[in-house]
Amino acid sequence: MFTNNSDSQKRIYNLVAAIASGTFAEEKDFLTKMIIEIVDSQDFQIYGGRLWEFNPQKEVYTLAYQYGNVKKVPDDYELSVHDQTVLMELAQTRTQLRRETDLILKESGILIYSVTGVGDIVRTKYGKFFEYVIGFNAPEILQTFYETLAIISTISSARLKDLRLLKKQEKMNRELSKASEIQRNLFPEHSVEFSDFDIYGLCISDSEVGGDYFDYFRNLEDEEDSLSIVVADAASKGISAALQSLYVAGAVKMSHNFSPKISALLHNLNNLIYETFPMERFVTLFYCELTESSNRLFMYGNAGHTEPLHYHASTDSFDLLTSTGGVLGIIPNQKFSVENTTIGKGDIMVMMTDGVTEAQNEKGEIYGEEPIKELVRKYQTLPAKEIALNIIEKVQIYSANSSYTDDKTLIVIKRKAD
C-alpha cells in the first residue's frame, strides 16, 4: 500500500498531472480517465473507484461512474447528504477515510474507502459541498493516504477550472465569430456609383468585432434621386462597441425610412442611444446626402464626428465639415442643424473615423490630418478606390509598431472631372 514518502507522492503527482495535461471534450471525461488510470496503475494497490456528482435540488450525490474489480453498484445510485455525514465534512477537510455504512455499498464489497472532493464548492441552505466526490477502495487504507488524496483533489480541481475556462473561451470565440459575420454583413459593397460620383469605403476592425460602421442608402422615392452615406464610431471597445454599432446600424436604417430630414434623423438617433445604452452612450456619427442638383448639393449633419475633409480641385484647398451638434446619446433631446456645401468637378470628400487621424506610431505621435491632405493632393487623379487604399495603407504602415490600435473606417467620394 502507499507509504508516506516523497517517492509515492511524486508518482501520484506525475500520474495525475500527466492525465490532466490531456485533451477532454467534457470535464467528466477527465475525471473518469483519472479514476481508470489510478485503479489500473501498478504503483497503487487500489482495486476500485467511483465518481459521485452532487445534485443540490435533491440533496444527494448521484453515482456518475464506477470502475474496477468490485461488484457494481446500481446505475444512478444516490447517497443522501443527510445520511452520509462524511459528505458534509468534505468541504472543511477535502479528504476523508471511513468505513462504509451504506448497506448497498457494503454488499458490493466496499468496506473501507477514501473520498476526496473535486471541483468548486456549492453552497446550499443545508451546508457546503464539492461538485464531485471521488471514492477509492483498497485492501487497506492508511492515514498517510490523505496526502495522496490531497494531490489528486488539488490537481483535478485546477484542471476542471482550466477546462471550464477553455469552454468559456471557445464559446466566446464562437459568439465573436458569429457577431463578426453579422457585422460584416451589415457593411455595404465597398464601391458605389451615383450620378457622376465615384465612391469607395472600407472598414478595418482592430479586433474580430469593432465599433465602426458605415453604409449607403439610395433614396429613390424622393422627387430628386439622392444617395445618403453614414459613418459612425462607438467610443467603447470590443463587444460593447460592436453591440452599439449593430444597434446604430439598425436604428439608422429605421430612422432613414421614417425621418427624411437629417436633423430629425439625428434627433431620433440621439434619443434612442440615450435610452438604450445608459452606461456607454458615446457614439459619433456623420450623415450626408448627395444630390443630382446642377451644383451637386451636399447636405450633412455631424454629431461630434471626426471632421471630413473636402478638397476643392479648382483652388487646391481644403475645408473641414465641422460638427453641427453634439455626440449622440450624451443628453436627451439634442438639437442638430444641417449644413450644406457643393461638390465641384474633381472635388474629393474624405470621411473617416478617428482611428485614421489618431493612428499612432511607436512614439505615440498621431498621424493627423495633414498627411491625409497631402495624399489626396498626390492621388487626386486616381479613382476613389485607389485614393482610399493609398491612404489606409500609409496609415497602417505608420501605426504598425504602435501599442495603441483602433478601428479604421474611410470613405472617399470623388466627383468625376469630365
- Copy the grid coordinates of residue 342: 457643393
- Average pLDDT for residues 317-340, to the nearest whole number? 94
Q: By percentage, how much of the chain surpasses pLDDT 70?
A: 82
Other Cβ atoms closer than 10 A to 211: 32
Residue 187 pLDDT level (bands cut at 50, 70, 90)? low
Amino acid at 250: G
In angstroms, the CA 250 to CA 262 distance is 16
CB 267 within 8 A of CB 334: yes
User: Residue 261: which of 301, 229, 206 has the closest Cα?
Assistant: 301
Averaged confidence pLDDT in the chain: 83
**According to the per-residue pLDDT averaged within each range, which of 211-220, 230-239, 328-337, 338-347 is highest?**
338-347
pLDDT at position 274 is 86
Domains, the chain, with CATH or none? 6-164 (3.30.450.40), 177-415 (3.60.40.10)
Which has the minimum average pLDDT: 3-7, 158-162, 173-177, 340-344?
Answer: 3-7
The C-alpha atoms of residue 230 and residue 214 are separated, in whole angstroms, by 5
Q: 402: which residues sit within 8 A by CB, 6+ positions away?
A: 359, 360, 361, 362, 364
Vertex 185, ends 209 and 267: CA angle to 5°?
Answer: 80
CB 50, CB 116: distance < 8 Å: no
* 309-312, strands of its sheet edge to edge: 191-194, 197-204, 408-415, 348-352, 309-312, 317-320
pLDDT at site 191: 84
What is the per-residue pLDDT across 249-275, written as a single tens digit (0 to 9) for each?
Answer: 788 887 777 766 899 999 988 998 888
Dihedrals phi, psi of 130, to nearest 5 degrees: -70, 150
At 282 the pLDDT is: 79
Residue 4 predicted with pLDDT over 50: no
Query: Mean per-residue pLDDT for 373-377?
Result: 97
- Would you state the cell numbers that stand for residue 83, as one nine-digit string? 445520511
Would you say 2 and 43 are in contact if contact means Cβ atoms under 8 Å apart?
Answer: no
Sign of CA dihedral 15, 29, 132, 139: negative
| Residue keyed to cell 452606461 | 279
Q: What is the pLDDT of residues 33-80, one digit of tens each?
A: 988 988 888 776 778 889 999 999 999 999 999 998 877 888 889 999
pLDDT for position 1: 45
Query: pTM of the prediction?
Result: 0.61
Query: pLDDT-derived band of residue 6, with 50, 70 and 90 as boundaries?
Result: low
Q: How confident is the model at residue 38, as a pLDDT?
A: 83
